Amino acid sequence: MSQSWTMQPLFQLFLARFREFIRTPEAVFWSYVFPLVMMIALGLAFRSEPVEAVAVTIQNGDLSEATQKLLADNKAVKVTSGSEDDCRRMLRAGQTELIVVVTGTAEKPSYEFRYDPTRPGSVHARNTVNDALERASGRKDLLTTSDKAIQEPGSRYIDFLVPGLIGMGLMGGGVWGVGYAIVDMRIRQVLKRFLGTPMKKHHFVAAMMASRMVFMIPEIIVILLLARVMFGVTNNGSYFSVGVIVLLGAIEFASIGLMIASRARTLEAVAGLMNLTMVPMWIGSGIFFSASRFPDLVQPLIKILPLTPVIASLRHVMQEGATMVQILPNIGIMLAWAVGTFVVALKVFRWD
């Protein structure tokens, strides 16, 4: 007579891990409350804070090339060009601070500046470009200019921040939620008791990872709902794509947490290993600011950090409406980390 599915080792381990998690207040706090507190605090603090970068996009037109030449020698301005749709997409994605639309004639051009006045850096970009154009034209206060405010979800700091906080939650929940729990069970001799049962190693590993992924679902939903209600954060892509990224990220970091805890015997040892693993991603993967701020020399290393493709994919989908095909390279990096660390963890895992 076959066993009831409720008596299967995988289900029983999953249930035990679920009960253990919800009975640990500090784990609930760091997994659920901390990311929400960070989102609210930083969203309020930086909702109108200016930034230094001055990236400008000139909308394609008869005089756009001539305008680019006027600004080409100005080191305070980084100029690109594109169609009207491209310009708006770049503004939403945070790739430009200002759109310049040039009309009129070559002898008397007229410049329209399009930007979000509540967005960090936009007003600074407008004034910098206006001054640069006047200086390049050899005139002062003679140019005809006008301002057009653009206020739309997707172009603010909070829109940039939320994907980073989701990635941070996935990393912390996976690494701490799996790694710390396993070492704690090893210290309490729980793993040795499991060793004396008919349970297989992959049952235990799968149950630990599955329970962590189930906990992540409500956490991400709460972050997205609260961001929408409090700050108007929207998703320009599909929620299916967001779900796939979150699932892959949860698997990836659960595997990393499993690998870290495979041989650690003390809480101090696993805490040190987890901090050593996560600190570079906290700093370099672009949680709170763009990873492109780092020198070109370290960009290849930053791009292959486990957290970087997760956050980059979320931002591409949520801010730019990217499809799954467009984020395939990032998905490939996530899968490589998930599979590679999981295989290593299974090879080196010890019960005592």
- For residue range 153-163, what is the model confidence (pLDDT) as tens digits? 566 778 888 89
Whether residue 68 is found in the same domain as residue 143 = yes
Please state whether beta strands 144-149 and 98-104 pair in parallel, antiparallel, or not at all (unpaired).
unpaired
Q: CATH code at 129? A: 3.40.1710.10
CA distance 259 to 179: 8
Whether residue 145 is found in the same domain as residue 161 = no
CB-CB contact of 117 with 152 (8 Å): no
Look at residues 121, 149, 177 and tell me which one is the last residue of a structural domain: 149
Q: What is the pLDDT of residues 266-294, one digit of tens each?
A: 777 777 788 788 888 887 888 887 777 77
Whether residue 203 is found in the same domain as residue 104 = no
Closest CA to 298 of 287, 283, 313: 283
Q: What is the pLDDT of residues 166-222, one digit of tens each?
A: 998 888 888 887 888 888 888 888 877 877 777 777 777 777 777 777 777 777 888
Closest CA to 89 of 111, 57, 46: 57
Look at residues 128, 149, 170 and tell me which one is the last residue of a structural domain: 149
pLDDT of residue 155: 63
State the average pLDDT over residues 219-237: 85
Four-residue CA torsion sign, 255, 257, 258, 259:
positive
Q: Tell me how many domains the chain contains.
A: 2
Tokens encoding 75: 């080191």
Compute CA distances 215 → 24, 74, 238, 265, whole Å.
Answer: 13, 51, 22, 25
CA atoms within 13 A on the CB side of 246: 24
Whether residue 163 is found in the same domain as residue 116 = no
Whether residue 255 is found in the same domain as residue 276 = yes
Look at residues 106, 121, 149 and tell me which one is the last residue of a structural domain: 149
Whether residue 339 is found in the same domain as residue 253 = yes
CB-CB contact of 202 with 346 (8 Å): yes
Whether residue 179 is found in the same domain as residue 326 = yes
* Matching residue, tokens 């929620």: 239
Domain that holds residue 114: 55-149
CB-CB contact of 115 with 125 (8 Å): yes
Whether residue 236 is found in the same domain as residue 297 = yes
Compute CA distances 32 → 29, 165, 218, whole Å.
Answer: 5, 11, 9
Beta bridge partners of 104: 109
Mean pLDDT of the chain: 79
Write the single-letter amino acid at 82: G
Tokens encoding 25: 């207040």
Maximum separation of any 2 CA atoms in the chain, in Å: 92
| 241 vs 36: which has the higher pLDDT | 241
CA distance 122 to 129: 11
Whether residue 276 is found in the same domain as residue 174 = yes
> Who's near 212: CB < 8 A, 6+ residues apart?
173, 174, 177, 178, 250, 254, 257
Whether residue 108 is found in the same domain as residue 219 = no
CA distance 266 to 282: 24
- Phi/psi of residue 198, each to 5°? -70, -5
Least confident of 84-88, 208-212, 336-340: 208-212
Whether residue 40 is found in the same domain as residue 141 = no
Asked whether the predicted pLDDT for residue 2 surpasses 80, the reply is no
pLDDT of residue 44: 54
| Continuous H helices in the chain | 9-22, 25-28, 34-45, 64-71, 84-92, 122-136, 157-187, 190-195, 201-231, 239-261, 267-284, 299-303, 307-320, 328-348
Whether residue 224 is found in the same domain as residue 108 = no
Burial 39-67 (b: 16+ CB within 10 A, else e): beebbeebeeeebeebbbbbbebebbeeb
